[in-house]
Amino acid sequence: MIPYATQWIDDDDISAVIETLRSDRLTTGPAVKAFEDAFAEFTGAAHAVAVSSGTAALHAAMLAAGIGPGDEAIVPAITFAATANCVVYQGGTPVFADVREDTLLIDPSDVEAKITSSTRAVIAVDYAGQPADYDDLHTIVEGRNITLVADACHAPGGAYRDRPTGSLADLSTFSFHPVKHIACGEGGMIVTDDADAAERMTVFRNHGITSDYRAREEKCSWEYEMESLGFNYRITDIQCALGLSQLKKLPAWVERRRQIARRYDEAFRDVHCIEPLSVLPGRRHAYHLYVVRVKTDRMPSARRKLFDELRSRGIMVNVHYIPVYLHPYYRRTLGTGPGMCPVAECAYEEILSLPMYPKLSDEEVGTVIGAVLESCRTIGLTD
């Protein structure tokens, strides 16, 4: 079986974790700070705040953006549900913008059309690993008191006009779930150049308490104050030791992902029923996902059939994602439904994610390509 994504853990990762387990700090210790510092440097951002998941990172970003009841945040229709959920956590309302037909990145013209006097944030998603249209998005939010947030969970190691992801928006979030580029088990990070925002998110991840227990220890004091309502979104030193060890390999892993993508691109170049998404000039795609559109003009259920056929051959393809506003929760609470974002809904009928992870061998890439071409023939998409 070939999964669509998986982690890569080596002996040095295991040693790093064991070393932390033998130390006297399992949480809120030196590995957290070391991981934050290394990640800030990697992304070119001034500050990094590590948290317990990518979802917690998005929630903290919404806190930092000042989202509250009555505020709106514009999010793309095609993304993981957490991109929209984080707005609801803060009492705000997600507003869904359609995506571009060629890249499935949030469509700047639809963002502009959906701005109201209540819009306080735009969350761009670097879908599949390709950085969104940041120049256009900056132009749109400029002078409007709107925070631009990058949900860069798909794109560590990516770049836009030679600037790395993490330095492209006011706040950028990352995930360290095992299907993403580097694994902490669970983990997330927010990076920003705004020192005040970083400080508020650091307090937010620790219940809203303004000093951690080590600072109290240093002051020989038991006193602490909860200034605001926060959460326990802390990440452990065990997870950060793993993250730090994995981060060292990230540049090579992004290269490997790009190499695999080039092989897929070549293999499907002349196959008209399999259409990879466009990669725009000036972008360094980090390839969390390799997404193709299975053209349905000749066979309406082609994607479903290809999905089933590939899975029966042990190629665990997947679909990323159903438009978020079609989930029952959003239909029920916001009254959303079909017809809202036609480009996203049409794409959702056609998209398929092929296996993409650095540990995928050249031979396995060949197996996937062969299986896709044979499956297209089996279901009658090609002759």
| Active site members | 180
CA 172 – CA 164 distance, rounded (Å): 11
- Total residues interacting with ligand PLP, rule: CB under 6 A: 15
CB of 25 to ligand PLP, least distance (A): 23
Site string for ligand PLP, 68-107 (x = CB under 6 A): -----------xx-xx------------------------
Check if the beta carbon of residue 382 is closer than 8 Å to that of residue 376. Answer: yes
Q: Say if residue 193 is exposed, middle or buried (CB neighbours under 10 Å; 0-12, 13-18, 19+).
A: middle
242 touches ligand PLP by CB under 6 A: no
Residues between 128 and 187 with contacts to ligand PLP, criterion CB under 6 A:
151, 153-154, 175, 177, 180
Of positions 31, 49, 54, 106, contacts ligand PLP by CB under 6 A = 54
Shortest reach from residue 248's CB to ligand PLP, in Å:
20
Instruction: Return the number of the residue (60 or 153) whose C-beta is nearest ligand PLP.
Output: 153
Assign 383 to helix, strand or coil: coil
The DSSP annotation for 247-309 comes to: HTTHHHHHHHHHHHHHHHHHHHTT-TTEEEPP--TTEE---S-EEEEE--SS-TTHHHHHHHH
Selected binder of ligand PLP within 7, 43, 53, 375 (CB under 6 A): 53
Q: In the Cβ-directed half-sphere of 284, how many Cα atoms lie within 13 Å?
A: 16
Q: Does 125 sit near ligand PLP (CB under 6 A)?
A: yes
- Name the minimum Å distance from CB 196 to ligand PLP: 24
Residue matched to tokens 């070119």? 44
Give CA 340 to chain center in angstroms.
23
Contact mark string toward ligand PLP, 184..223, x via CB under 6 A: ----x-----------------------------------
Closest distance of CB 267 from ligand PLP, Å: 26
What single-letter amino acid sits at 163?
R
For residue 128, give the 3-state DSSP assignment.
Answer: helix
31: which residues sit within 8 A by CB, 6+ positions away?
A: 20, 25, 237, 238, 240, 241, 244
Q: Measured at CB, which residue is nearest to ligand PLP?
A: 54
Q: Which is nearer to ligand PLP, 189 or 273 (CB)?
A: 189
Beta-bridge partner residues of 172? 150, 191
The reply on whether position 7 binds ligand PLP by CB under 6 A is: no
Residue among 152, 204, 159 nearest 174 (CA): 152
- The stretch among 47-55, 64-72, 136-144, 330-338 that binds ligand PLP (CB under 6 A) is 47-55
Q: Which residues contact ligand PLP by CB under 6 A?
A: 53-55, 79-80, 82-83, 125, 151, 153-154, 175, 177, 180, 188
